[in-house]
Amino acid sequence: MENNEKFMLQALALAEQAGAIGEVPVGAVVVADGQVIGEGFNQPITACDPTAHAEIIAMRNAAAAVGNYRLTGCDLYVTIEPCTMCVGAMVHARIQRVIFGALEPRAGALASQLKLMDQSHFNHSIDWQGGVLEQQCGALIKDFFKRRR
């Protein structure tokens, strides 16, 4: 199994944890040198924290693990295309690469809407790739919202 799929499966398992507690099922892992150094899943409702997205929590955990707010050379895997807030935090953390599963057509900030990494004014650019285990990632979100309606 390719590394992208291996790490995305870990993010999917975290997303399932979020769904199990009633949160939108999004999971994320931060990887350095082939090792997961931070993980997170959506918790804005349970944590009463609007910034508690999977990516933010994973980056917080990774930064604590390495003792530095800069995550230079790290990759972030997330089940859904990141929003504007999360992409901004990734730029500040100096994430090297973002790999996501399914597109987020309404709020995705890399491919679907704002295309933030196409902008030239940022002081750091992030490489990104979408579509890794896209079907599984997308189905998890669709099933979650189908059950809620």
Known catalytic residues are 55
Going edge to edge, which strands form the sheet with 75-80? 35-41, 27-32, 75-80, 97-102, 127-129
Phi, psi of 66 (to 5 degrees): -95, -10
Tokens of 61: 């955990």
Q: In what helix (H) or strand (E) does residue 56 lie, and over which residues does it extend? A: helix 54-66
69: DSSP letter: S
